[in-house]
């Protein structure tokens, strides 16, 4: 998707600056668009102007009625008059992720899946993901013989993303099988009511993993 088709004046989006494992998030709006740049007000971080030097690579994300759009940009110039602005490079491409076509990547992350048993007892299954996407997770966990996990069971999932607040939402088991020793399960869950902003965080992490794999020649 061409950037000029979607980056219109007034578009609100989230801008993400990454430094190592640290991420800064800013809510900004497009103020002006030209052939190769676009302008936003200088974001604030903890009450002060954000320190975004010329050349800093940033990620943008915004929601549409059909899914999520992601793009990469960099700081071209910082303007101080008449007010403080950032001039950003126009992205070469804006990637649109439809709600039905979530990209999946192998990733090991800690999670818990809390269900309510037939005796109305809450049980938390803790384990590690095998792969993740904006639509759900494939995971491994240990369970006891008294806990019956089957397709259709719903529960609360808590997914821990690196250096970020955990993601919590309702999810449903869509596949389940025993692997290895008794009590060792592999199952897939589908997010049910995840807010689009939280889904965007998962998708951004998926694409960050893919970029890292490509850089290392593994993808």
pLDDT tens-digit readout, 52-67: 999 999 999 887 776 7
Burial 81-120 (b: 16+ CB within 10 A, else e): eeeebbbbbbbeebbebeeeebeebebebebbbebeeeee
Burial of 137 (0-12, 13-18, 19+ CB in 10 A): buried
Q: Confidence band (pLDDT; 50, 70, 90) for 69?
A: confident
91-110 residue pLDDT tens: 988 888 765 567 889 999 99
Average pLDDT over residues 140-156: 87
- What tens digit of pLDDT does each residue of 15-42 get? 988 776 677 889 999 999 998 999 999 9
Q: Does the pLDDT of residue 219 top 60, yes or no?
A: no
90, pLDDT greater than 90: yes
Task: Calculate mean pLDDT across residues 187-192.
Answer: 95
Statement to judge: residues 94 and 121 lie in one domain: no
Phi-psi region of 152 (alpha: psi -120 to 50; beta: other; left: phi over 0): left
55: number of CA atoms within 13 Å, CB side? 0
Query: Do residues 53 and 109 share a domain?
Result: no
Average pLDDT of the chain is: 86
Average pLDDT (182-189) is 88
Same domain? 85 vs 118: no
Tell me the residue range of the domain where 167 lies: 104-214
Based on the fold, state whether residues 114 and 195 are members of the same structural domain. Answer: yes
* 183 shares a domain with 112: yes
**In 10 A of CB 195, how many CB atoms?**
13
Residue 184 confidence (pLDDT): 85
Note whether residue 171 is domain-resident: yes
32 is a domain residue = yes
73 assigned to some structural domain: yes
Q: How many domains does the chain have?
A: 2
CB 103 within 8 A of CB 97: yes
CATH number at residue 62: 2.30.110.10
- Check pLDDT > 90 for residue 188: yes
Instruction: Specify whether 117 is located in the same domain as 71.
Output: no
Q: Is the pLDDT of residue 214 over 60?
A: yes
């Amino acid at each position: 998707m061409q950037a000029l088709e979607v980056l219109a004046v007034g578009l609100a989006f989230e801008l993400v600056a990454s430094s190592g494992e640290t991420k800064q998030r800013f809510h900004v709006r497009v103020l002006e668009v030209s052939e190769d740049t676009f302008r936003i007000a200088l974001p604030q971080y903890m009450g002060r102007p954000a320190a975004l030097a010329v050349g800093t690579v940033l990620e943008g994300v915004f929601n549409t009625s059909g899914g999520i759009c992601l793009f990469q940009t960099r700081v071209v110039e910082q303007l101080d008059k008449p007010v403080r602005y950032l001039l950003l490079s126009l992205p070469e491409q804006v990637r649109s992720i439809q709600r039905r076509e979530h990209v999946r990547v192998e990733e090991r992350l800690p999670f818990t899946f809390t269900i309510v048993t037939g005796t109305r007892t809450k049980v938390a299954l803790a384990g590690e993901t095998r792969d993740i996407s904006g639509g759900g997770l494939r995971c491994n966990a240990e369970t006891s013989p008294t806990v019956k996990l089957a397709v259709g069971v719903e529960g609360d999932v808590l997914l821990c993303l690196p250096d970020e607040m955990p993601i919590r939402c309702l999810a449903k088991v869509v596949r389940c099988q025993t692997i290895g020793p008794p009590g060792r399960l592999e199952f897939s869950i589908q997010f049910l009511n995840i807010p689009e902003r939280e889904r965007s965080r998962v998708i951004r992490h998926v694409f960050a993993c893919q970029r890292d794999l490509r850089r290392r020649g593994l993808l």
